[in-house]
Structure 1
């Protein structure tokens, strides 16, 4: 189990914090649903810290088998001692149940259906029966919180109605521009507030561009600011250098956005268009070609 620090800061999520705390206090299971970078993990860490609850983190992927989630009998110990409870190795689910903590499942829609089925009885009855081990009942305070990005179709599967029926859903959209500026500022230092605000504006513009089906999260802004600062130092230019900013934007954002199939343009072309719209035309020296021009 992971103990969470209480100094985790959540920006612009007062309503969601209240809803999550109330849902957990009522004994409900919760599904946090929203695009990447909207603070789902940060929100849970903050709430867990305020509850003084530890939590077990599970990353949802195709490799998450029921044994990895629930636990298993140590094969070497079974040979010498048999199926004794002492040789059972608890997985994150049983650990959270015994300790009265939170089980946090990231990327719920990437978890195989067979593994999700192992959660059904636990979510409804707060107990589960493990073959050869017996019935394990959850201690007070146990809860299941899951998160997923409903817009990502690659490597995901449809979550069954049985899972939805056992969860309360909290929808989390993108935060305000001001909130995203604060998030960037607490992670990385920029040359000025105005420059960081324009970086956030650039990242937010990727979410509405007609040729993009997926835009960048605020993580793109954080990386852009950090990269631009490092490039400026390497090149010996100002922190808000136009070319360093463009190069940083191309590197930080081109892998995060997805161009619509109907568009003939590259991610780099769309990013440069947005960059020029928000930061203006390049100074003549940058147009002539700087050391870092892409």
Structure 2
């Protein structure tokens, strides 16, 4: 698939989702960029800010099979992955697939279930497979997880450790809408005359996979690649950061910046693409010093500060990995 067609399809998906999720274009672009990059996205925000609605709308417009799993303190790993059940008719055990066997899984309130169940989902996210009773079952592409987490009401929750947060390509927050956006939401609800919003698909699962494959043709010039490495390295030396981003953070920046470039109609990455996705790609990978938590320092603000002070390249050279002469 040509990159121009990928961009057109992606923008049409965003336009259609934006008819229901009002006024959050930037956040929606990040979510779609994470899906196009083949990753998983953590939606962390206060209740009632369209996290679940966003997942449903993207599943509908992308033509994906959708499953929602409500995470609770009594949820077991088998409730996520599936389990073997005894078939009395055949006298044998049959594997019953869990909700993880889908195209787009909404893991609602992932921080409300114990670590063992969280680990079962996170293993499936990383390995794209589940192992039950010694038998491995592959998860077919596309497979994406949109997980939600509530940053308030910590009683009875199990926050994800930093090492497990690293499995998410991006962490996205929506924030409260403006007064005008909230009024527009009310008008659209009254015009719709029903609570549930149903969107027609723009693409299907096969087309989405082709769009994801096409992103490999997005060029990343060597100086831009070095800029990505400089940003991630700066998180490791920042005085307010105890543990900086790993090389997985560099890969997250690279993959998401390529998707960001296609959304803007380009077949090459510019430093502005990297800057726009850096807070969502890196903030959840930083472990701040304890005194910074007491002062409520936002990791995204630290990433923004690093982007502001790190010199951005201005080069039009061709990337050397393409084999083109420099």
In the superposition, the TM-score normalised over structure 2's length comes to 0.50
CA distance, structure 2, for counterparts of residue 184 and residue 152 of structure 1? 28
Match for residue 104 of structure 1? Answer: 106
Name the stretch that deviates more: 41-50 or 143-152: 41-50
Deviation at 1:59, TM superposition (A): 0.6
Aligned counterpart in structure 2 of residue 81 of structure 1, from 88, 91, 98: 91
Higher gyration radius (CA):
1
Q: Partner of 2:138 in structure 1?
A: 137
Instruction: Give distance in 2, aligned partners of 1:45 and 1:82.
Output: 37
Change (3 A) 1:81 1:63: same
**1:92 partner SS:** coil
Residue equivalent to 1:154: 155
Instruction: State the superposition RMSD in angstroms.
Output: 2.1
Whether 2:19 is the aligned partner of 1:19: answer no
Find 1:33's aligned residue among 27, 44, 47.
44
1:31 Cα deviation after fit: 0.1
Instruction: Give CA deviations for 1:179-237 in whole Å, capped at 9, x if unaligned.
Output: 11222333359xxxxxxxxxxxxxxxxxxxxxxxxxxxxxxxxxxxxxxxxxxxxxxxx
**1:154 shift after superposition:** 2.7
Distance 1:115 1:79, change over 3 A: farther
Provide the residue aligned with 2:299 in structure 1. Answer: none
How many residue pairs match? The answer is: 174
Unaligned runs of at least 5 residues, structure 2:
1-15, 192-326
The answer to whether the 8 Å contact 1:120/1:162 transfers is no
| Pairing partner for 1:126 from 128, 151, 159 | 128
How far, CA to CA, are the matches of 1:61 and 1:79 in structure 2?
A: 33
The answer to whether the 8 Å contact 1:17/1:47 transfers is no
User: Aligned to 2:53, what secondary structure does the other structure show?
Assistant: helix
Gaps of 5+ in 1: 1-5, 190-294
User: Retained in 2: the 8 A contact 1:34–1:171?
Assistant: yes
Q: List structure 1 segments (4+ residues) > 6 angstroms apart after TM superposition.
A: none
Supply the distance in 1 between the matched residues of 2:89 and 2:116 (Cα, whole angstroms). Answer: 27
SS in structure 1 at match of 2:137:
strand
1:95-137 deviations in Å (ceiling 9; x for gaps): 21xxxx01110011101111011122221121222215x2112
Query: Does the CA contact (< 8 Å) of 2:69 and 2:108 recur in 1?
Result: yes
Structure 1 equivalent of residue 167 of structure 2? 166
Which protein has greater RCO, CA pairs closer than 8 Å, 6+ apart? 2
SS in structure 1 of the partner of residue 136 of structure 2: strand
Q: Is structure 2 residue 64 aligned with structure 1 residue 53?
A: yes
Looking at structure 2, the residues matched to 33 and 126 of structure 1 have their Cα atoms a distance apart, in angstroms, of 23
